[in-house]
């Protein structure tokens, strides 16, 4: 028995989700009308239903995100919404709030959001025991940590492989709530991690002034798919429910190829959905939005994972300036087009942008020459040619089909079989009229039954049983083909494997007997859930706290000391960066606390910033 590997893509809208399916995604995740962790990426039930119909034809899946923490008054609305999306036929529900497990939910598979910070075998095993069908792992895990979880659990494991990284442990960042009154766990994160901060040492000296100290590069694990499979991952998730269609087309296509390459070398694995995907462009992850790429902690700790100089996309390295004139420069490197967007880091390491007004060979006439000098390294963050390609139809996905034609005095019988082994039969009475040119008629039968046009089928073969066929008008052949394909579609959908699960409350002990605000318990049902599972002390969610000064507002495996080559485990590092360290954004001051035994950094709110003019 083979194991299916799933490529999971984001869907800001139903149309983007359908494009992801067409480009090879085995599943998509999309926001519900309410209660998603990206509040601006909600979708109507009608649009979700449209996406479900498109995906299910290819046996692809649709998961709905309802992964915020909920108030007591919101729980009944959430329950009704879950029943509604279940009626639409969605294949799974991504949730964070355990209070939902105390409600009378339909038998829809539940997926534990990464917002629950699923980072240990004990935590994942508990989630499996209480009824989750899949667990989305914490982004910070290494291959060995993932493998350890796999050894002690049997639940499906999903991992992020591409896209923006939250610097904090997911679900345990309260900085947005602190500075803007907008809770990330309620779907309205203000992304203060992408702001500028200054770093000061124990003497109050400014070590780094106004850099993006908490902004990480983007994740790219496209070269680690085989190792992730070996570690136990079966669902590979692309981040980006706010991303537009061009981004999704490019990234999904790149990962489709990467996963297929792994499958080709591993006969024990196959794709999780059906159809042959024809991608008619060359995907390139450097030619789409990115802040520079990192493989994060997948192979252990590395220093260069932050994007300290910018929080914006830098795009593709394109070349180096080798000569400057009054209004142009010469470039050694890539080819540019009129309208391309370029950027570079100036002498202060600030990101500067410019536009290509005219390009002629290696001569480039930009919108401005300010800051451009010999040796300047350029990046292209808007690719005019690539964008033009992605605006067109860039992929086609079809179900391979074999057709058998039979005719006798009772009429015509058509049999279709697809690559999933689904067989359909369509019969129609038609008088048997002798064909004056039997061989020519036979050729026409094959030709017209093979014409699938813009349908989602590709007829690979047409066989004609016996030589007993008569004259058939070409319009009749076309009509028979349309009726057969419509009938086969209904048979495919009737035969589609349907995921379902029945859950019953149990008393499986939770791994901890006391929970801090980081458990994000916002409603009484969540409190009841943890109490039933043996938790004795449950602190309220951060969002309910009246006083937050002195609270840890972020916990992260990213370490500013390590990033700056001043790890406390290294001899002499204390002298290089004297403790205690703090950061501020000009309005709020935070103390950095380092748990070196666990290689974690805690960001603790100290209060308002006292430095004037910052």
Mean pLDDT of 475-498: 96
Tell me which of 239-253, 376-390, 567-581 is least confident: 567-581
Mean pLDDT of 464-480: 88
Q: What is the pLDDT confidence band of residue 335, given thresholds at 50, 70 and 90?
A: confident
CA angle 304-305-307, nearest 5°?
95
Mean pLDDT of 45-65: 97
SS3 labels along 413-479: EEEEEECCCCEEEEEECCCCCCCCCHHHHHHHHHHHHHCCCCCCEEEEEEEECCCCCCCCCHHHHHH
Compute the Cα dihedral for 570, 575, 577, 581 and give only its sign: positive
Q: Is the pLDDT of residue 280 over 70?
A: yes
Q: What is the pLDDT confidence band of residue 39, given thresholds at 50, 70 and 90?
A: low
Q: What is the reported pLDDT for 612?
A: 42
What's the whole-number average pLDDT of the chain? 94
| pLDDT tens by residue, 135-167 | 999 999 999 999 999 999 999 999 999 999 999
Q: What is the reported pLDDT for 1?
A: 82
Q: Is the pLDDT of residue 383 over 80?
A: yes
Q: Is the pLDDT of residue 614 over 60?
A: no
- The C-alpha atoms of residue 522 and residue 411 are separated, in whole angstroms, by 67
Residue 501 dihedral angles phi and psi, to the nearest 5°: -155, 140
| Chain centroid offset of residue 47 CA | 19
Q: What is the pLDDT confidence band of residue 607, given thresholds at 50, 70 and 90?
A: confident
Mean pLDDT of 227-240: 98
Name the nearest CA neighbour of 108 among 125, 124, 127, 89: 89
The DSSP letter of residue 285 is: G
* Percentage of the chain modeled with pLDDT above 90: 89
Q: Is the pLDDT of residue 574 over 70?
A: no
Name the nearest CA neighbour of 27 among 1, 2, 64: 64
Mean pLDDT of 445-474: 91
Q: What is the reported pLDDT for 37?
A: 63
SS3 labels along 306-368: ECCCCCCCCCEEEEEEEEECCCCEEEEECCCCCCCEEEEECCCCCEEEEEEEEEECCEEEECC
| pLDDT tens by residue, 114-143 | 999 999 999 999 999 999 999 999 999 999
Residue 380 dihedral angles phi and psi, to the nearest 5°: -105, 115
| pLDDT tens by residue, 97-107 | 999 999 999 99
Look up the pTM and report it. Answer: 0.96
Q: What is the reported pLDDT for 613?
A: 40
Mean pLDDT of 578-604: 96
Tell me which of 202-216, 391-405, 491-505, 589-603 is least confident: 491-505
Residue 289 CB contacts under 8 Å (≥ 6 apart), including other chains? 218, 243, 247, 313, 315
């Amino acid at each position: 028995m083979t194991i299916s590997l799933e490529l999971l893509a984001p869907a800001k809208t139903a149309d983007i989700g359908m494009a992801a399916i067409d480009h090879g995604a085995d599943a998509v995740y999309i926001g519900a009308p309410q209660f998603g962790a990206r509040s601006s990426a909600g979708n109507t039930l009608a649009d979700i239903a449209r996406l479900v119909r498109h995906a299910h034809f290819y046996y692809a899946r649709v998961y709905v995100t309802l992964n915020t923490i909920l108030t007591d008054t919101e729980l009944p609305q959430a329950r009704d919404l879950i029943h509604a999306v279940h009626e639409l036929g969605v294949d799974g529900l991504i949730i964070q709030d355990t209070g939902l497990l105390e409600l009378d939910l339909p038998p829809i598979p539940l997926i534990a959001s990464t917002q629950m910070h699923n980072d240990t075998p004990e935590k994942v095993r508990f989630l499996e025991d209480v009824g989750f069908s899949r667990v989305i792992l914490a982004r910070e895990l290494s291959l060995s940590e993932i493998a350890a979880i796999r050894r002690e659990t049997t639940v499906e494991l999903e991992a992020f492989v591409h896209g923006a990284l939250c610097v904090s442990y997911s679900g345990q960042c309260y900085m947005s709530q602190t500075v803007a009154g907008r809770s990330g766990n309620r779907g309205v994160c203000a992304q203060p991690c992408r702001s500028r901060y200054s770093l000061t040492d124990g003497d109050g000296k400014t070590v780094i002034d106004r850099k993006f100290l908490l902004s990480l590069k983007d994740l790219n694990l496209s070269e680690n798919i085989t190792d992730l499979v070996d570690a136990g991952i079966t669902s590979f998730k692309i981040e980006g429910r706010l991303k537009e269609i061009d981004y999704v087309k490019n990234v999904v296509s790149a990962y489709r190829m990467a996963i297929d390459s792994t499958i080709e070398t591993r006969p024990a694995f196959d794709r999780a959905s059906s159809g042959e995907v024809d991608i008619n462009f060359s995907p390139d992850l450097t030619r789409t939005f990115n802040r520079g790429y990192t493989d994060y902690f997948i192979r252990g700790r590395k220093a260069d994972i932050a994007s300290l100089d910018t929080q914006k996309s830098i795009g593709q390295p394109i070349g180096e300036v080798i000569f400057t004139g009054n209004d142009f420069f010469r470039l050694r490197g890539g080819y540019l087009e009129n309208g391309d967007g370029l950027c570079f880091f100036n002498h202060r390491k600030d990101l500067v942008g410019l536009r290509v007004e005219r390009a002629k060979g290696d001569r480039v006439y930009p919108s401005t020459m300010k800051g451009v000098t010999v040796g300047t390294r350029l990046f292209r963050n808007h690719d005019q040619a690539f964008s033009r390609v992605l605006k067109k139809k860039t992929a086609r996905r079809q179900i391979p089909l074999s057709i058998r034609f039979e005719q006798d005095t009772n009429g015509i019988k058509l049999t279709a079989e697809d690559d999933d082994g689904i067989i359909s039969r369509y019969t129609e009475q038609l008088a048997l009229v002798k064909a004056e040119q039997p061989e020519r008629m036979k050729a026409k039968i094959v030709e017209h039954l093979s014409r699938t046009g813009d349908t989602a089928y590709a007829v690979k073969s047409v066989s004609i049983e016996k030589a007993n066929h008569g004259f058939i008008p070409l319009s009749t052949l076309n009509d028979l083909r349309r009726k057969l394909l419509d009938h086969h579609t209904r048979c495919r959908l009737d035969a589609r494997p349907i995921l379902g699960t029945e859950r019953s409350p149990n008393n499986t002990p939770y791994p901890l007997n006391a929970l801090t605000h980081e458990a994000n318990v916002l409603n009484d049902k969540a409190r009841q859930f943890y109490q039933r599972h043996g938790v004795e002390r449950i602190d309220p969610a951060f969002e309910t706290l009246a006083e937050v000064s002195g609270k840890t507002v972020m916990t992260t495996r990213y370490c500013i000391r390590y990033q700056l080559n001043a790890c406390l485990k290294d001899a002499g590092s204390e002298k290089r960066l004297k403790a205690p360290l703090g950061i501020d954004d000009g309005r709020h001051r935070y103390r950095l606390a380092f748990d070196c035994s666990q290689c974690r950094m805690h960001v603790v709110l100290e209060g308002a910033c006292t430095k004037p003019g910052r």
